[in-house]
Amino acid sequence: MISTLRFPRRSYTGWGSIAKLFEELEDLKPSRILVVTDQTLVKIGLVHQYLSPLNKQFNVSLYTDVEPEPSLACAERLAAYAREGGFDCVIGLGGGSALDLAKIAAVISQNEGDTADYLNLSGTRKLKTRGVPKILIPTTSGTGSEVTDIAVVSLEGTKDVVTHDFLLADIAIVDPQLTLTVPKRITAATGIDALTHAVEAFLSVNANEATDALAIKAVELIAGSLRNAVENGENQEARTAMSYGSYLAGLAFFNAGVAGVHALAYPLGSQFKLPHGESNAVLLPYVMKTISSTCRNKLNRVCNILTNHGEERSEEEILTLFYKLVESVGLPTTLKEYGIPESSLTSLTEDAIKQKRLLARSPKPLGKDEIYQIYQMAFNGLN
């Protein structure tokens, strides 16, 4: 089998790697920089702390109209703003939403038409140019957006993506010190998102030796540090391991793909506005149980890393292990807890089945019946 590995053109990782931003900009010599970030990061002073030194040497405009789970309208507003502004470099600083929108600003603004024209499920156009250079700097350890070629937008009732090589970062800077102030719940949710990327990539039908190596190292790093990062946010070692784990998980899933957990999570985000990481967390145990019979060996390897000892496990034990993991970082483990009515499980199923791109990577084919059953298990939980 022939397999490929794709990466951003250059990545910097590790404590203090943000210093490389200045060097890269000195090489690029942009005349107008657009920074896409969100209001919270401005308010807590993170944008000022890390980006204000740029103002001395560069012409920098800040764009903060970034919604969580950004809508198509939000993406269109930004693309129009970027087109008007004539920027020749885009910096994305933030969580997955800011980074995804930065990709759209850099690429869509330089192509004809709107973001809607380039959506995976309903778009009709093909991107013609790469756009302006983009530098992506995550401030959470989770989405992996800094190393993927995908931008996710929320539509009514579902989500869709713009995905193309052109959306890959020119430079990714993954500095754990930017994650020190992330609150507990967001650390937990983004951490489970990163773990889900690694696990789904490892179990994907498109996995290969290289993506397996990335995924397994990511599971090791995240399993060894997630609880510590949630409980002791200022712990540099835990934040550094989570940052590296999230980065490797991002590379693994960019190349091997995510599957059932993400396919079923998208409708929870768009219909009920659950944050992406929490949508994954509440479904992860039930999807793992459902697919376990088709990937028992690989799933056991993951479980052995998570529990630190090796043993064979039944479907029920796999379910309980992931359930306890989500519970241990303080996240809800049932859809009930989010106030989602049982009557909506049908419409969630109808939306999830549309995510053919993701479902195609599942080791076990997930049709309507299986998807409905997973939502029903996630509704009720273990009781």
Binding residues for Fe ion, rule: CB under 5 A, are 193
* 184: its two tokens: 């507990």
Q: How far is the CB of 276 from Fe ion (least distance, A)?
A: 6
Residue with tokens 């693309």: 79
Please say which residue, 194 or 305, places its beta carbon nearer to Fe ion: 194
Please say which residue, 58 or 200, places its beta carbon nearer to Fe ion: 200
Q: What is the C-alpha separation between 361 and 13, in angstroms, rounded?
A: 29
Please say which residue, 132 or 199, places its beta carbon nearer to Fe ion: 199
Which one-letter amino acid corresponds to residue 173? I
- Is residue 263 classed exposed, middle or buried when 0-12, 13-18 and 19+ CB atoms within 10 A define those classes? buried
Sequence-distant (6+) residues with CB within 8 A of 186 are 95, 140, 275, 277
Considering only CA atoms, which of 7, 37, 168 is closest in space to residue 101? 37
Task: Name the residue whose CB lies closest to Fe ion.
Answer: 193
Q: How far is the CB of 63 from Fe ion (least distance, A)?
A: 24
Please say which residue, 109 or 211, places its beta carbon nearer to Fe ion: 211
Q: How far is the CB of 129 from Fe ion (least distance, A)?
A: 28
Q: How far is the CB of 35 from Fe ion (least distance, A)?
A: 24
Q: What is the C-alpha separation between 291 and 370, in angstroms, rounded?
A: 10
Handedness of CA 258, 263, 269, 274 (dihedral sign): negative
Q: How far is the CB of 197 from Fe ion (least distance, A)?
A: 6
Which one-letter amino acid corresponds to residue 381? G
Q: How far is the CB of 213 from Fe ion (least distance, A)?
A: 20
Q: What is the C-alpha separation between 141 and 194, in angstroms, rounded?
A: 7
Q: What is the C-alpha separation between 16 and 226, in angstroms, rounded?
A: 21
Q: Residues 126, 129, 132, CA angle at the centre, nearest 5°?
A: 135
User: What letter does residue 110 receive in the DSSP assignment?
Assistant: T
Sequence-distant (6+) residues with CB within 8 A of 4 are 255
Q: How far is the CB of 212 from Fe ion (least distance, A)?
A: 19
Please say which residue, 60 or 167, places its beta carbon nearer to Fe ion: 167
User: What letter does residue 145 receive in the DSSP assignment?
Assistant: G
Q: How far is the CB of 367 from Fe ion (least distance, A)?
A: 22
Please say which residue, 93 or 281, places its beta carbon nearer to Fe ion: 281
Please say which residue, 146 or 193, places its beta carbon nearer to Fe ion: 193
Considering only CA atoms, which of 119, 188, 121, 178 is closest in space to residue 151? 119
* 57: its two tokens: 């040497």
Please say which residue, 178 or 199, places its beta carbon nearer to Fe ion: 199
Residue 154's SS3 state is strand
Please say which residue, 90 or 192, places its beta carbon nearer to Fe ion: 192
* 307: its two tokens: 């529990």
Q: How far is the CB of 371 from Fe ion (least distance, A)?
A: 18
